[in-house]
Amino acid sequence: MTTFERSSKQRSIGTPRWRLPLFAAAVLVVTGGSAYAGIPGDNTINGCYNKVGGGLRVIDATVTQCKSNETPISWNEVGPEGPVGPIGPQGPQGAMGAAGASDAYVAKSRGASGLLDGHVDIVALTVPAGDYVISAKTRLLNGDTVGQIVECRLSTGDFSTGNVIAGGDVTIPLQDTASFAATSTLTLRCFGTATNLYAANWVLTAIGVGVLH
């Protein structure tokens, strides 16, 4: 066998050419897998940027540092919180809610009172604590031979005056609102400027409401 033949056989016995690409791919897979496996779980990715060639490699900053020819960089997949956006337009008005519960307190009389000699409380009404819409009215009868000025007043503040001719009558209406922190008594008081004044057909009503606006 010649020297040339022995050299040819030795080359044919060496590593097959098709195995080289597979070996290189395996190295890349192993290298890349070890790099990504080392990324911490705090959503921050650290890397080293090559100042000369522009290459970038991902590292675990807790165990690896960038080289002198590399610049350390990091980025976060969550990102910082952005600014508050503008206020949106007002939405449509909602449907009206159901009516709340209310209580009405009433005191009234169909007859006539005694003589209103001075300031006289015609009727009183006791209500529990709460917010109220109050209304009252009474008929005043003038039994005198001359006309007279009359006045009626609620204990919550509203009042009204009228002029009753001789032998005539007038109806005085009143209305008010009030808030009571405890049980309270409402009164309707009237008086005239002359004698022989009587009250009749009075009514005092207090309607409890949820809130006074």
Q: For residue range 130-180, what is the model confidence (pLDDT) as tens digits?
A: 999 999 999 999 988 899 999 999 999 999 988 999 899 999 999 999 999
Task: Please name the residues in contact with 83: beta carbons below 8 A apart, sequence gap of 6 or more.
Answer: none
Measure Cα distances from 132 to 6, 112, 178, 190, 206 in Å: 121, 27, 5, 22, 6
Do the domain assignments include residue 8?
no
Surface-to-core class of residue 202, CB atoms within 10 Å of its CB (0-12 exposed, 13-18 middle, 19+ buried): buried
Paired strand residues for 178: 132
What residue type is 145 in one-letter code?
A: T
**Rounded Cα gap, residues 79 and 128, in angstroms:** 60
Average predicted confidence (pLDDT) for the chain: 80
pLDDT at 192: 85
Radius of gyration, alpha carbons of the chain: 50
If asked whether residues 46 and 138 sit together in one domain, one would say no
Domains held by the chain: number: 2
If asked whether residues 120 and 51 sit together in one domain, one would say no
Answer yes or no: pTM beyond 0.75.
no
Domain boundary among 59, 76, 93: 76
Domain range spanning residue 184? 104-209
**What is the DSSP code (8-state) at residue 159?**
E
Do the domain assignments include residue 98?
no
**Rounded Cα gap, residues 35 and 76, in angstroms:** 17
Contact (CB, 8 A) for 150 and 161: yes
If asked whether residues 168 and 126 sit together in one domain, one would say yes
